[in-house]
Amino acid sequence: MKIIVLLILLSGLFVFKTFWQSGGFKTIENKFQGTTHIIEGLPGVEDITIDQATGIAFLSSDDRRARMIHKQRVKGAIYALNLNDSSLRPINLTENFTQQDFHPHGISLFQSSEGKKILFVVNHRRSGNFIEIFEFRSHSMQHLQSVSDKLIISPNDVVGVGERSFYVTNDHDEGISTWRGIKDVFRIGTGNVCYYDGNKVSPTSIKGVKYANGVNVSNGGRKLYLAATTGKTISIYDRDISSGQLTKSEEIDTNTGVDNIELDTDGNLWVGCHPQLLKFVTHSKNEKSLSPSEIIKLTNVGDGKFRQETIYMNDGSEISASSVGAVYKNQLLIGPVFQRHIILAKMK
């Protein structure tokens, strides 16, 4: 009898701890200083990055609910949205991309010293996972290369650091399985980061991450930022530009489920977040179940320190499961993992 009671107590403690760690007790309030506008018709814009020189936003769109729930594989797309154009008309840049099995996830824009604009895209094909490399020219994209490797096993996000080089996060170091799901329940970190130097993919020193997700580099390229969603942290690494080697220098405890990371022109971090992770899981299975959204700003105050503030929070009624917040001047684009619209928020 005592053993049964002990097991019940331990089970209850585990459930309580899981609920607490997932943000179940976190207060959610609708918060934003400004106005918001809904742009309809773009499914699953999981990641967004903006060319700060032109105001053109690149949107990674994939109907992953159709793929996950209904087992339909509708071709995804990369859209361009000119934030200096009042029409706000998204343009499909990959409509003529010959790879029909195109399901974009994380994206990154790299601009070379010669002015080339290279877009890196995580692509989940039936045959495996790839990083697609495009060059953006005159409102169109030319496909340059597809990179695959046994180390790119569960890619989530990518950041370009050269015309053919990039870092990629694996949210797990193994494919989908029951065992992987059990590890997630117990918050066992198996995520990692790999580096492609233009010739081969190599592991970095980063491993054992609790759901390695968004990744980005500082404007000068000497710092790498990594989001751990279930770990609720953003880690900062010193980056050796010549070798690509990474050395951890800081870790920010955000107390929210961090996803994609974008930067503004001042080097501040803007992060799409899932403040209540269990509601995100429910939302992924049922579109009628709302998942709160949050966009945080981490202001660089010097000496590797950042000040955190919530810029946008919503109970999920305006947008559910925000995964990215990308800023251009006073405009903030917010994208979700599953829903078929994005938010253009204008900050005061």
Strand partners, 139: none
Along the chain (348 residues), what's the average pLDDT of each consecutive run of 10 residues?
Answer: 65 61 86 98 98 97 85 90 95 95 98 96 97 94 98 98 98 94 89 98 98 97 98 98 97 98 97 98 95 97 90 98 98 98 97
Task: Indicate whether 214 belongs to any domain.
Answer: yes
Give me the domain span that covers residue 206: 28-347
Q: How far is CA 237 from CA 31, 168, 170, 203, 263, in A?
A: 32, 14, 17, 15, 16
Q: What is the pLDDT at residue 19? A: 62
Task: Indicate whether 14 belongs to any domain.
Answer: no
Q: What is the pLDDT at residue 72? A: 76
Q: What is the pLDDT at residue 208? A: 98
In the block, tokens 């195109």 appear at 102
What does the angle CA 153 – CA 274 – CA 215 come to, to the nearest 5 degrees? 45
Task: Indicate whether 6 belongs to any domain.
Answer: no
The amino acid occupying position 340 is: R
Task: Indicate whether 152 belongs to any domain.
Answer: yes
Q: What is the pLDDT at residue 68? A: 76
Task: Indicate whether 174 belongs to any domain.
Answer: yes
| CATH code, 144 | 2.120.10.30
Task: Indicate whether 106 belongs to any domain.
Answer: yes
Task: Indicate whether 177 belongs to any domain.
Answer: yes
Q: Are residues 209 and 191 in contact, defined by beta-carbon separation less than 8 angstroms?
A: yes
Give DSSP secondary structure letters for 213-238: EEEEE-TTSSEEEEEETTTTEEEEEE
Task: Indicate whether 9 belongs to any domain.
Answer: no
Q: What is the pLDDT at residue 14? A: 54
Q: What is the pLDDT at residue 182? A: 87
Domain count, the chain: 1
Q: What is the pLDDT at residue 181? A: 86
Hey, what are 175's tokens?
Answer: 């494919």
